[in-house]
Amino acid sequence: MTKLSHATLKSFAKVHKPAYDPAELKPGIVHFGVGNFHRAHQAVYLDDLFGLGLDHDWALVGAGVRESDDRMRDILKAQDWLTTVVDQEAEHSQARITAAMIDYVTISTDEGRKALMAYLTSPDIRIVSMTITEGGYYIDPASQHFDTAHPDIVADSVNPDKPETVFGLIVQALRLRKLQGVEPFTVMSCDNIPGNGHVTEDAVVGLAKLSDPEFADWISANVAFPNSMVDRITPATGAREREIAAQEFGVDDGWPVFCESFKQWVVEDNFPNGRPALHKVGVTFSSEVSAYELMKIRILNGGHAAIAYPGGLLDIHFVHEAMEHPLIRRYLEKLTKDEIIPEVPPVPNTVLDDYRVLIDKRFANPSIGDTIRRLCLDGSNRQPKFILPTVSDRVAKGEPVTGLALVSAFWCRYCFGTTDSGALIEPNDPSWDRLVKQAKLARDNPVKWLEMEDIFGTLASSPAYAEAFSSALRRIWQDGTEKTLQLYLAGETL
């Protein structure tokens, strides 16, 4: 086992190494949110591109605004910003070392803040990208619009010269670039949010408008916010992953990334200040990003939510183990075919049921090590994006929502804080205390759960949905998870 660094790169015999000299790279992209997904996705595509000998002036600079980002930065700095990425499938496992990132700065110190702003205002930086999770966009769950009243946003609007949020830093940098006569960078979201480019623009422009409406109008007229769809299942890193990297591949990596082999990236080609030639390494540039995006969010992300909560209630640890449970796997299939796919418009060059089968196979991958707890995380942000829009579409057409209501009923039961066996569920949502309180009220009166209008919006006043949800939750409490799934699969009334 050898510690990962530039000096030791050549010594690793069992891994694919960069086909370029990292010292030759120059920065072109600042990326906020250097987590596992980014390092398994955007960084890998760039690593592939650099390996072709192309676009070496588009290297990544990581950026962080949270305290936890400092730990990631310190670990990656100790290994010269290198990352071990391990693709795991049932039949094979392979590792590579990527070197697409050349620096990483955070705003925890004045020195770091100055370094980040120097990058953000440099003409070399032509794209600012982000993976800050669904909950990082300050979206009001009920309206799905930017929340200008959020305390973080209010604070940045009052103190625009020392912002603490990603959007505040972007606004500050754009203002300085304008004053210095530097072309604006393109702002590219890589998060699982419908219309992520539009959502990002709403956040940046909305924040700017609070302190300088004229400048906000300038941003709207001059800055590009391309939409994108991103996909690669990437679990969290733990002791298991570090041990596999060390024992099987001989790499002592402080934060390796494990993922499936499959990856997909569809992007709107809207980059006025230039972009790397990512189309040469498998990225699809399309004007129909929304079609791909809706398919992925409703079938894959919605599917994750569907298996997560029954899996959690049945004390299942890994995602592939949930897929081995015949009731959960059949529930996912029936729900997707009956209620989700009918609400997904046509996608270019894609058969939706073939995509469903692919998702089923990916979920069942026994090597990936993705956990049910990760899928259950942050339901208060994920349900309004991945489940409830499909519900709204079906309710508006008078179509049944039995299976979709069951997804949210399982989520409510999970938030009660115990599994069917009585085991304690540790907090797993930024709003956990609130959710537990509401779930306890909903045990005897299910509509109490729907009273969280910031999550359910107008669905709370839909008699059809309220009845379907209430029936599902009562059945779960009466008969438990497995029996409820059996009744649903048998087509019986819940």
Residues 272 and 319 in one domain: no
pLDDT at 468: 98
Amino acid letter, 236: A
Q: Are 375 and 192 in contact (CB under 8 A)?
A: no
Among residues 266, 286, 306, the one where a domain terminates is 286
| Mean pLDDT across the chain | 96
| Domain of residue 221, CATH code | 3.40.50.720
Handedness of CA 334, 339, 340, 346 (dihedral sign): positive
Q: Are residues 348 and 382 in the same domain?
A: yes
Residue 278 and residue 312 in one domain: no
Residue found under tokens 């009562």:
474
Residues 242 and 356 both lie in one domain? no
Together in a domain, 110 and 75: yes
Q: Give the neighbor-by-neighbor strand order of the sheet with 186-189.
A: 101-106, 59-64, 27-32, 127-130, 186-189
Q: How far, in Å, CA of 369 to CA of 167, rounded?
A: 33
d(CA 314, CA 297): 25
- CA 187 to chain CA centroid, nearest Å: 17
Give the SS3 label for residue 180.
helix
The answer to whether 79 and 4 have CB atoms below 8 angstroms apart is: yes
Whether 360 and 421 share a structural domain: yes
Three-state DSSP class for residue 12: coil
Does one domain contain both 205 and 262? yes
Rounded Cα–Cα distance for residues 187 and 178 (Å): 15
Per-residue pLDDT, 142: 66
For residues 167 and 261, membership in a common domain is answered with yes
* Residues of the chain predicted below pLDDT 50: none
Residues 257 and 149 in one domain: yes
- Same domain, yes or no: 308 and 404: yes
Last residue of a domain, one of 286, 309, 326: 286
User: Crossing angle for the helix pair 302-313 and 402-415, nearest 10 degrees?
Assistant: 50
Q: Are 350 and 293 in contact (CB under 8 A)?
A: no
Number of separate domains in the chain: 2
Query: Could you tell me if 278 and 271 are in contact, meaning their C-beta atoms sit under 8 angstroms apart?
Result: no
Question: Domain boundary at 286, 313, 330, which?
Answer: 286
Look at the block and give the residue holding tokens 């980040």.
116
- Is the sign of the CA dihedral 486, 300, 320, 262 positive or negative? positive
pLDDT of residue 91: 80
Residue 460 sits in a domain of what CATH number?
1.10.1040.10
Q: Are 157 and 210 in contact (CB under 8 A)?
A: yes
The length of the chain, given as a count of residues? 494
Same domain, 300 and 279: no
- Shared domain for 253 and 182, answered yes or no, is yes
The per-residue DSSP string of 333-367 comes to HHHIIIIIGGGS---TT--HHHHHHHHHHHHT-TT
Is the distance from CB of 273 to CB of 184 less than 8 angstroms? yes
Q: Which domain holds residue 7?
A: 2-286
Q: How far is 59 from 67, CA to CA, in rounded Å?
A: 24
pLDDT at 273: 96
